[in-house]
């Protein structure tokens, strides 16, 4: 990592912050948020280890247009900047420096990273969380539902998009990708019973699944197609 140069009157506090953890945003020029499909959300929780987030940085420099910005992590063992995203690599706290292309620090903020201790699986509909899935899930052939994992440090929900490995055994339900987040749409294809497994780093969630045949004479369920938000990047 190149050595950054601190800009203006905030230099001493910014340097001191890297050593002691004094006030985040001491230079007062940048606002940081996490991008979501429905807009930017304030980041009010630690980033999960192994998860990533897409930052949105709004910079205000009085008397000047905003320059080209780059983000630099002071500790790659806690978080690293990769392909426009911030990835949590290990528990701890790091300063994320907002710099110009020459390496001059325009502002900074602190980012905490925690290793998840537990996880839950939630049902989602049109972006609304319908609650945790517990005990199992029943579907009719042709029906589909959207589910997404959440990770926590004890009771605190952690931020970021969590990398997950999805599998259904036997394959009577197909987990389908649904855009720029870690959830899946589960499409029921064949009657029977199965188990969903979602691996999130060292944590594995399991959920019993049951697929029922469409009753004779009944029309097949009308699955709602996934329509991504115009704000979705991927």
Which CATH number goes with the domain that contains 110? 2.60.40.1080
Domain-embedded: residue 217: no
Residues 97 and 61 placed together within one structural domain of the fold: yes
Domain-embedded: residue 44: yes
Exposure class string for 91-116: b at 16+ Cβ within 10 A, else e: ebbbbbbbbbeeeebbbbbbbbbbbb
Residues 98 and 169 placed together within one structural domain of the fold: no
Spatial separation of the C-alpha atoms in residues 76 and 82, rounded to whole Å: 11
For 69, residues 6+ apart whose C-beta sits below 8 A from its C-beta are 57, 59, 98, 99, 100, 106
E-state strands within 115-170: 118-125, 128-132, 137-140, 144-153, 156-157, 161-162, 165-169
Domain-embedded: residue 218: no
pLDDT in tens, 175-220: 999 876 789 999 999 999 999 999 998 999 999 999 999 887 666 5
Cross-strand pairs, 4: none
Cross-strand pairs, 132: 122
Domain-embedded: residue 222: no
Domain-embedded: residue 234: no
The backbone torsions φ and ψ at residue 126, rounded to the nearest 5 degrees and listed phi first, read 50, 45
Residues 96 and 123 placed together within one structural domain of the fold: no
Q: Which of 114, 141, 168 is a domain's end point?
A: 114
Residues 167 and 106 placed together within one structural domain of the fold: no
Residues 207 and 167 placed together within one structural domain of the fold: yes
Q: Which of 96, 114, 132 is a domain's end point?
A: 114
Indicate the pLDDT class of residue 3, thresholds 50, 70 and 90. Answer: low
E-state strands within 43-115: 47-48, 51-53, 55-59, 70-73, 79-82, 85-88, 92-99, 104-114
Domain-embedded: residue 65: yes
Tokens 């426009």 label which residue? 84
Domain-embedded: residue 170: yes
Q: What is the pTM of this model?
A: 0.74
Domain that holds residue 197: 118-212
For the chain, how many structural domains are there in total? 2
Residues 88 and 154 placed together within one structural domain of the fold: no
Residues 105 and 146 placed together within one structural domain of the fold: no
Residues 160 and 71 placed together within one structural domain of the fold: no
Indicate the pLDDT class of residue 221, thresholds 50, 70 and 90. Answer: low
Spatial separation of the C-alpha atoms in residues 120 and 205, rounded to whole Å: 7
Residues 84 and 168 placed together within one structural domain of the fold: no
Residues 35 and 102 placed together within one structural domain of the fold: yes
Residues 110 and 122 placed together within one structural domain of the fold: no
Residues 52 and 90 placed together within one structural domain of the fold: yes
Most confident of 34-48, 54-68, 111-125: 111-125
Helix (H, G, I), strand (E, B) or coil at 12: helix
Domain-embedded: residue 232: no
pLDDT in tens, 42-78: 678 899 999 999 888 777 766 666 678 889 999 999 9
């Amino acid at each position: 990592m190149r050595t950054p140069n601190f800009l203006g009157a905030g230099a001493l506090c910014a340097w001191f912050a890297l050593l002691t953890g004094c006030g985040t945003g001491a230079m007062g020029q940048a606002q940081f948020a996490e991008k979501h499909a429905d807009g930017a959300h304030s980041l009010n929780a630690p980033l999960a280890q192994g998860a990533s987030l897409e930052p949105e940085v709004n910079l205000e420099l009085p008397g000047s247009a905003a320059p080209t910005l780059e983000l630099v992590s002071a500790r790659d063992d806690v978080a690293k900047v990769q392909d426009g995203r911030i990835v949590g690599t290990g528990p701890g706290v790091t300063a994320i420096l907002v710099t110009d292309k020459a390496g001059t620090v325009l502002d900074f903020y602190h980012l905490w990273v925690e290793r998840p201790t537990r996880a839950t699986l939630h049902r989602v509909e049109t972006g609304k969380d319908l609650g945790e899935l517990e005990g199992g899930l029943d579907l009719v052939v042709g029906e589909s539902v959207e589910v997404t994992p959440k990770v926590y440090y004890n009771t605190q929900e952690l931020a970021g998009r969590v990398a997950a490995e999805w599998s259904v055994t036997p394959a009577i339900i197909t987990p389908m990708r649904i855009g720029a987040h870690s959830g899946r749409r589960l499409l029921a294809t064949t009657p029977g019973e199965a188990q969903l497994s979602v691996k999130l780093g060292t944590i594995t969630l399991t959920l019993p699944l049951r697929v029922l045949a469409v009753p004779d004479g009944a029309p097949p369920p009308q699955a709602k197609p996934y329509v991504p938000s115009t704000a979705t990047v991927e």
